[in-house]
Structure 1
Amino acid sequence: MIKFGTDGWRGVMAADFTFANVALVAGAVADFVLAHNLAGRGVVVGYDNRFLSDRFADTVAGVLTGRGVRVYLGRKALPTPVVAFAVHHLKAGGAVMLTASHNPPEYNGIKFIPEYAGPALPEITDEIEEYILRRQRSGTIPACGANGPARELTDPSRAYAEHVLKLIDTESIGKAEMRVVVDPLYGAGIGFLEEMLSGLGVRVDSLHNHRDPLFGGSLPDPSAAKLETLRDTVLREGAHLGLGLDGDADRLGVIDADGTYISPNQLLSLVYYHLVTSRGWSGPVARTVATTHLVDRIAADCGQEVVETPVGFKYIGQALMEHGCIVGGEESGGLSIRGHVPEKDGILAGMLAVEMVAVHGKSLKTLLEEVGDKYGRLYSERLDVHTGADRKPRIMENLRRLEPDSLAGQPVVGRFTVDGTKLVLENGAWVLIRASGTEPVFRIYTEAGSPAEVKRIQNAVRNLTGL
């Protein structure tokens, strides 16, 4: 069954991600576009550096044009945030992005980006899935017709870069005499950070800056474990920062000058702090239910609201559009700010990281210590617990009944079920337990004032739930 998860449909190539299934999804997207009278505005079709992504994109374009939908096809591999920007820039009716983001090389995927240039909300993907089911039941095979409107090749890279630079303090970066190492991990983000930073006078070194569909035998995931080469290069070259992108450049990993990995939770907190203290911005912050509460403390100090959403950047994008949030982010690395498209963007996040070092004249680690001195230090960790499929129903029932008065020696002062079960403790610590929607895995997100307390909370939750 073809299902759109937290961020699109993904599958193993030649197993379930086949040309036939890609054409089926493209036909359903065409059904959606036509039903909402968006065909005349056109659909952007983008693709990343994965094996056959360009061929899959060509199939999507053929199906769309065969249904009379105008298509803007990327001239080259493009990052997801650039394709989202193209929707806004071209005033298109939406976009189809061929990518599996940070998944292993054997995967590929499809994201649908609606006309508002952010991730598709559930009501949109539900409608597309319904069109897929109708086509499967009727046996309707989408045609890749040559008689429809001619596809138009497009490359929004320059317009995107000009837009991002307007969101950044380029003057401060230009004066800072910085050195930055960029690692796009063989992905679609190759060249973007390098060219923007070099144009501002930053000395830039680049790693893994050519297409490799096997991603060097690893994953295009900018986690601490996958950025060891970047870390070593930053230390060897004496760089101020190392910036790593995932396969479609919508997420960022940061290595500080001393080799410290700056987590997405920490980066989001720093960006929010920077926007309100250095830029003088005022407004709420959006975070998912699984993301750090350090931003809550900063917001409270500034008299601003926190918008808590379910997991998934589509909900963060919605908050950016509907609540006027100045920044929104998630613990998995997605981030965007006011004035940008409501899509997570690792390139923009990287430019903001460079701006913070340039403006404050200190490392991100030092800046984070100052934030900790002011608001308290929080330690976050995600623990994935694999369970047999037969155990999942019982654990889910235990979660529904999970209403303890105390946990790990602290009174429970809040219980929330926006997405999973979240318990907030009197001292500000919290834990969230969510079930994966695609595999027998439960994720335990925990944040507390010390690593030891994080472990105590994790152990207490596992005992109570049977995990």
Structure 2
Amino acid sequence: MRRIKFGTDGWRGIIADDFTFENVRVVSQAVADYINDRNMAHRGIVVGYDNRFLSDRFADTVADVMIQNGIKVYLSGGPLPTPVTAFAVKVHDAAGAVMLTASHNPPEYNGFKFIPDYAGPALPHITRAIEENVMRLQDVGGVRVLNQEAAVELAFKPGHTGAPAPAAHATKPHIAERIIIDPRPEYFEHLEQLVDMEAIGRANMEVMVDAMHGSGMGYLDVLLKKARARVKECRCSRDPLFGGSMPEPTGKSLAGVCRWIQEEEGRLGLALDGDADRFGIIDAGGVYITPNQFLPLLYHHLITVKGLVGPVTRTVATSHMLDRIARKHGQAVYETPVGFKYIGQNLMEKDCVLGGEESGGLSIKGHIPEKDGILAGLLAAEMVAVHGKSLADLAEEVARQYGGKLYSERLDVRTTPKQKQQVLEKLQELRPAELAGVPVAERVDLDGLKLVLAGGEWVLVRPSGTEPLFRIYVETGQPERIEQIRRDLMEMVGLQ
């Protein structure tokens, strides 16, 4: 049997190849064992799913395994975005959640994500514990299949490490049950407390919402209409094939939104990926706003308009414009490896007011420590409404206040497996005194290799965890230097 491995954000695989009902049962049992070993079964578990092929059936399979292990299940009554599934953990004070989604991956994929009781991505030590359970179960072929009476007996057996100890006053154990939930009302109420809905209404904006056929339909569009914005809906219907493409909100995939804004003179286009945890933004004039451009604007807005003054946390691949803003306001910057789990940890532990990544994930203080594209879209609408200008114009204003524009680019470079290993060895030893004619001021090996140059330019090389591929990120205040910095770095490590 092929080994099941958890990646940056859970386990993903091709449906009917490795993402099968048998394997979903194995991973569900591994999660059930994790919950029972920590005496949390009595709190129950939320199970959510997206619009992908068979996601609802996989969710039923997860629920069955949990119930057979004495764990109450709060099962979504329909497709849910990942951030809403995470929020439901807080609503029900659950031991965690399982979300069936492959996010922005191609249609043939599905995935299994465990969200612990703090309602954010699982940290590495949690993932490792579940993976160890998976390996043990794969070795012995042991997925527990019990009837209700046996599940109750297991859960309340004295001394059993996989069950809560019954309370002293308990007279009869409760049988694990399946409860159908709809967390939308509580989630909507919560977002309305974080976003200035009245400002959005006063602006009389016309906005296009593109759900990309994902589980985010019926969220951002509904909330904007409630705020009295005029909303045009795009791809807000279920299609497990996502129109034949990947449900990833990039400039290229949002061409239809760009055309609508150009032709109809709309103010804003807001898009969500397949499970609505990532955002895409199209500005007035049909201009795509990258996450690296949007995050600094949001941080500036949070500080100067919403009064949320505090540290910021970002990944190694995310714009240092955030650092400039933080410095000017006397705040700390916490840099993390790539993966929102690290951002979420800093939101919880470092009192950060914003956490973000260049791949399109963010959350803010007062929200759950999970990336949320719905919240991001509402905040973008609030910013346009409050400032009375396009995001591009706001970016010009912010750049003037914080030291000038920064330009960011990413390039993916494919290699052979042999070449990948050679490059990795060179990266470990690489300590250049200068790059592209400028002294190297800092060497960061938090995730890949990042060289920060005197004056603030930087370049990052990160290997893919699953493919013979490297991602090269460059940021500079002089766009004509992007190619030179990238080329010189590639020559040093043998990627030419």
TM-score class, shorter? over 0.9
In the alignment, what sits opposite 1:317?
344
* Greater Cα radius of gyration, structure 1 or 2: 2
Query: How much does 1:250 deviate?
Result: 0.1
Question: Does the alignment pair 1:254 with 2:284?
Answer: no
Query: How much does 1:323 deviate?
Result: 0.3
Question: Does the alignment pair 1:350 with 2:377?
Answer: yes
8 Å CA contact 1:23, 1:142 repeated in 2: no
Q: Which moved more, 1:163-172 or 1:244-253?
A: 163-172
Moved over 6 A (4+): none
Matches of residues 119-198 of structure 1 in structure 2 within 5 Å? 119-143=121-145, 145=147, 149-198=176-225
Matches of residues 2-401 of structure 1 in structure 2 within 5 Å? 2-143=4-145, 145=147, 149-375=176-402, 376-401=404-429
Q: In structure 2, how many angstroms separate the alpha carbons of the residues matched to 1:144 and 1:83?
A: 27
TM-score by length of 1: 0.99
In structure 1, runs of 5+ residues without a counterpart are none
Question: Aligned partner of 1:419: which letter?
Answer: D
Q: In structure 1, how many angstroms separate the alpha carbons of the residues matched to 2:480 and 2:487?
A: 11
Query: How much does 1:158 deviate?
Result: 1.3
Query: How much does 1:175 deviate?
Result: 1.0
In the alignment, what sits opposite 2:173?
none
1:414 corresponds to which of 442, 447, 455: 442
Q: In structure 1, how many angstroms separate the alpha carbons of the residues matched to 2:428 and 2:407?
A: 26
Question: Aligned partner of 2:352: which letter?
Answer: C
Question: Aligned partner of 2:107: which letter?
Answer: P
Q: In structure 2, how many angstroms separate the alpha carbons of the residues matched to 1:33 and 1:280?
A: 39
Question: Aligned partner of 2:16: which letter?
Answer: A
8 Å CA contact 1:264, 1:332 repeated in 2: yes
In the alignment, what sits opposite 1:462?
490
In structure 2, runs of 5+ residues without a counterpart are 152-175
Query: How much does 1:139 deviate?
Result: 1.8
Q: In structure 2, how many angstroms separate the alpha carbons of the residues matched to 1:333 and 1:146?
A: 43
Question: Aligned partner of 2:114: which letter?
Answer: F
1:168-227 Cα offsets, whole Å, 9 max, x none, are 112211211111100000000001011111111100000111100000011100001100
How large is the RMSD of aligned CA atoms in angstroms? 0.9
Q: Which moved more, 1:315-324 or 1:271-280?
A: 271-280
Question: Aligned partner of 1:38: which letter?
Answer: M
Query: How much does 1:145 deviate?
Result: 4.8
Q: In structure 2, how many angstroms separate the alpha carbons of the residues matched to 1:37 and 1:240?
A: 51
Against the structure 1 CA distance between its residues 144 and 411, is the aligned structure 2 distance closer, same or farther, given a 3 Å change threshold? Answer: farther
Q: In structure 1, how many angstroms separate the alpha carbons of the residues matched to 2:339 and 2:259?
A: 32
Question: Aligned partner of 1:417: which letter?
Answer: D
Query: How much does 1:142 deviate?
Result: 3.5
Q: What SS does structure 1 have at the residue aligned with 2:475?
A: strand
Q: What SS does structure 2 have at the residue aligned with 1:280?
A: coil
1:373-419 Cα offsets, whole Å, 9 max, x none, are 22211111111111111112211110001100000011000001111
Q: In structure 2, how many angstroms separate the alpha carbons of the residues matched to 1:464 and 1:159?
A: 53
8 Å CA contact 1:101, 1:247 repeated in 2: yes
Q: In structure 1, how many angstroms separate the alpha carbons of the residues matched to 2:184 and 2:38?
A: 28
Q: In structure 1, how many angstroms separate the alpha carbons of the residues matched to 2:138 and 2:416?
A: 31
Against the structure 1 CA distance between its residues 64 and 256, is the aligned structure 2 distance closer, same or farther, given a 3 Å change threshold? Answer: same
Query: How much does 1:278 deviate?
Result: 1.1
Q: In structure 2, how many angstroms separate the alpha carbons of the residues matched to 1:308 and 1:255?
A: 27
Q: In structure 2, how many angstroms separate the alpha carbons of the residues matched to 1:310 and 1:422?
A: 11
In the alignment, what sits opposite 2:171?
none
Question: Aligned partner of 2:189: which letter?
Answer: E
Query: How much does 1:137 deviate?
Result: 1.3
Q: In structure 2, how many angstroms separate the alpha carbons of the residues matched to 1:145 and 1:289?
A: 49
In the alignment, what sits opposite 2:468?
440
Q: In structure 2, how many angstroms separate the alpha carbons of the residues matched to 1:235 and 1:24?
A: 50
Q: In structure 2, how many angstroms separate the alpha carbons of the residues matched to 1:30 and 1:205?
A: 42
Q: In structure 1, how many angstroms separate the alpha carbons of the residues matched to 2:127 and 2:146?
A: 22
Q: In structure 1, how many angstroms separate the alpha carbons of the residues matched to 2:83 and 2:130?
A: 22
Q: In structure 1, how many angstroms separate the alpha carbons of the residues matched to 2:494 and 2:212?
A: 39
Q: What SS does structure 2 have at the residue aligned with 1:258?
A: coil
Query: How much does 1:451 deviate?
Result: 2.2
Q: In structure 1, how many angstroms separate the alpha carbons of the residues matched to 2:198 and 2:257?
A: 27
Q: In structure 2, how many angstroms separate the alpha carbons of the residues matched to 1:144 and 1:75?
A: 24
Q: In structure 2, how many angstroms separate the alpha carbons of the residues matched to 1:254 and 1:58?
A: 34
Q: What SS does structure 2 have at the residue aligned with 1:225?
A: coil
Q: In structure 1, how many angstroms separate the alpha carbons of the residues matched to 2:104 and 2:61?
A: 23
Q: How many residues align?
A: 467
Aligned-residue sequence identity (percent) comes to 58
Q: In structure 2, how many angstroms separate the alpha carbons of the residues matched to 1:48 and 1:145?
A: 28
Q: What SS does structure 2 have at the residue aligned with 1:226?
A: coil
Question: Aligned partner of 1:383: which letter?
Answer: L
Against the structure 1 CA distance between its residues 266 and 144, is the aligned structure 2 distance closer, same or farther, given a 3 Å change threshold? Answer: farther
1:3-57 Cα offsets, whole Å, 9 max, x none, are 1111111000111100000110000000000011111101000000000000000
Q: Which moved more, 1:230-239 or 1:261-270?
A: 230-239
Q: What SS does structure 2 have at the residue aligned with 1:243?
A: strand
Q: In structure 2, how many angstroms separate the alpha carbons of the residues matched to 1:139 and 1:80?
A: 30
Q: In structure 2, how many angstroms separate the alpha carbons of the residues matched to 1:152 and 1:424?
A: 52
Q: In structure 2, how many angstroms separate the alpha carbons of the residues matched to 1:122 and 1:141?
A: 24
Q: In structure 2, how many angstroms separate the alpha carbons of the residues matched to 1:155 and 1:144?
A: 28
TM-score by length of 2: 0.93
Question: Aligned partner of 2:208: which letter?
Answer: V
Q: In structure 1, how many angstroms separate the alpha carbons of the residues matched to 2:137 and 2:434?
A: 51
Query: How much does 1:138 deviate?
Result: 1.4
